[in-house]
Chain A
Amino acid sequence: MIIKLARTGMKGKSKDYLILFSGLICSVSVFYMFLSLSTNRDFITNNSVINSIQLVFWVGTALLSIITFFYILYAHSFLLTLRKREFGTYLLLGIKRKQIKQVAYYETTIIAVSSILIGILSGLVLSYLVSLGITKQLDIELVGFHPISLPAFLVTVVYFSLAFLVTSLWNSRKLSKTPILELVHANVQTEEAPS
């Protein structure tokens, strides 16, 4: 039942989820690309020009990780806000808060796993293309670069898993704290109108 509710709920907001999802895939793949370029030792040590722009990759990765973190947190919380009414109605019809949190948790897991997987795959392609671009621009030989980088892979998976975990806990806390009245009547203009 929980799984069914999560599925129908997400389907109902599929457009919003699609936007969130594409944003996440982009962040994951760019994140991976930066990491794979900056952690590729052979590539870096064998190319003195590349060596000097290593810093750029690191700063880029750091900035990106901060931006991505807040993006995940706010985008996902926003989607749950859109669904306040739905959750309120569930509560009213007898679903317990614990179960609603499970629905939210389940959704976050699905989004997290699929965006990390797809993001890394497209990150592979992206870093390959970018490495081609760099070598062409700087007119140097492509030596030792390999888009498949184990450290980049691990850091990406761990970092995004953590970011999603924090998001999940944050939303769970928010769901616990919101009174049922606020959930049931969320976005209801008629309630505010004088009666």
Chain B
Amino acid sequence: MKTILTASRLKKVYGSKKSNHYTALQDISFSIREGEFVGIMGPSGSGKTTLLNILSTLDQATSGTISIDGIVLSAMNEDQLSEFRSKRLGFIFQDFNLLENMTVFENISLPLSLHGHPPGVIKERVTKLAATLSIEGVLDKFPSEISGGQKQRTAIARALIHRPALVLGDEPTGALDSKNATTLLETLSTLNEEEQVSIAMVTHDAKSASYCSRLFFIQDGNIIRELKRTQTRERFYDEIVDVVSELGR
């Protein structure tokens, strides 16, 4: 299967002065294949957010290269990155980042309308995706008028509407109660299995991680372990918990 993302020898040093240098990522290499649901797991401060921001093209690595969908990120300027991001990537944030003054429909369609797709195409695609995510009834409402679960599905719809090569999320369940968190994870998992959407998600929670098809454990800026899901989610969860307690020692 095709490789969607290749990260090689990523290093990230924060701070401009010598005295306050902090190396958040030491030497990270991995790849994600099309249709995978990859999790990046690690304790607080291990460098997960740093890594995801770099993969998201929102921050630059100090050294190392990333290519997504065959395109090397460092070769692009800011406008090209912006174009790339909006066409090839989808983002799911902890607090959704929905635009409060636009309706659910407008929020979801923004990635398409910004690229000048005809209204007919936009309407058809939004309606179809909204039905898949069961939010077809709230398309004309504003984010303030819908429930947390509906907001979260609106955010997923906006992340998927332009059919990105890769969907990225930094602790996407972090601000949700456990019921909504489970729904979000199941939705992602279904989209991954049925529509072959490639996903990379950062998490520190074993339950969220158990929905992934492959996991990287990261500690002090290095990948120290990789785990592939071969069995049921419940068994995978037990395996993850074992690894976490082993690494914690």
| Interfacial residues, chain A to chain B (CB-CB below 8 A) | 1, 8-9, 11-12, 85-86, 88-89, 91-98, 179-181, 184, 188, 190-191, 194-195
Contacts and interface: CB of A to CB of B under 8 A. Distances in A.
B228 interface: no
Interface string B107-123: 00011011100000000
Given A92-B86, A94-B83, A184-B97, A1 B78 contact: no
Given A1-B114, A92-B86, A181-B53, A97 B174 contact: no
B79 A96 contact: yes
Contacts of B58: 92, 180-181, 184
B86 A89 contact: no
Nearest to A185: B93
A179 B85 CA distance: 15
Contact of B86 (A94, A181, A194): A94
> Interface on chain A toward B: helix, strand, loop, or mixed SS?
helix
B171 interface: yes
Given A8-B101, A89-B97, A1 B82 contact: no
- A-B pairs, 8 with minimum CB distance: A94-B86, A12-B101, A8-B101, A89-B97, A181-B58, A194-B44, A94-B114, A190-B94
B27 interface: no
Contacts of B174: 190, 195
Contacts of B53: 181
A94 B88 CA distance: 10
Interface of B: 44-45, 48-49, 53, 58-59, 78-79, 82-83, 85-87, 91, 93-95, 97, 99-102, 110-111, 113-115, 158, 171, 174-175, 204
A188 B49 CA distance: 14
B82 A96 contact: yes
A195 B49 contact: yes
Nearest to A188: B95
Given A92-B86, A97-B78, A195-B171, A181 B59 contact: yes
Chain B CB within 10 A, most for which of A11, A98, A191, A195: A195
B175 A8 contact: no
A86 B82 contact: no
A11 to B, nearest CB: 5
Contacts of B44: 194-195
A1 B174 CA distance: 33
Contacts of A86: 99
A88 B93 CA distance: 12
Contacts of A1: 113-114
B160 to A, nearest CB: 13
A93 B115 CA distance: 10
Contact of B101 (A9, A88, A93): A9
Given A190-B175, A195-B49, A195-B204, A93 B111 contact: yes
7 contacts: A8-B102, A91-B82, A92-B97, A93-B111, A94-B83, A94-B115, A195-B204
Given A94-B114, A95-B114, A188-B94, 14 more contacts: A88-B97, A92-B86, A92-B97, A93-B111, A94-B85, A94-B86, A94-B87, A96-B79, A98-B79, A184-B58, A184-B97, A190-B174, A190-B175, A194-B44
Most chain B CB atoms below 10 A, which of A9, A92, A194 = A92
A93 B84 CA distance: 10
Q: Which residue of B44, B79, B93, B101 has the most chain A CB atoms within 10 A of its CB atom?
A: B101
A57 B23 CA distance: 61
A151 B97 CA distance: 49
Contacts of A188: 94-95
Contacts of A98: 79
A92 B86 CA distance: 6
Contacts of A181: 53, 58-59
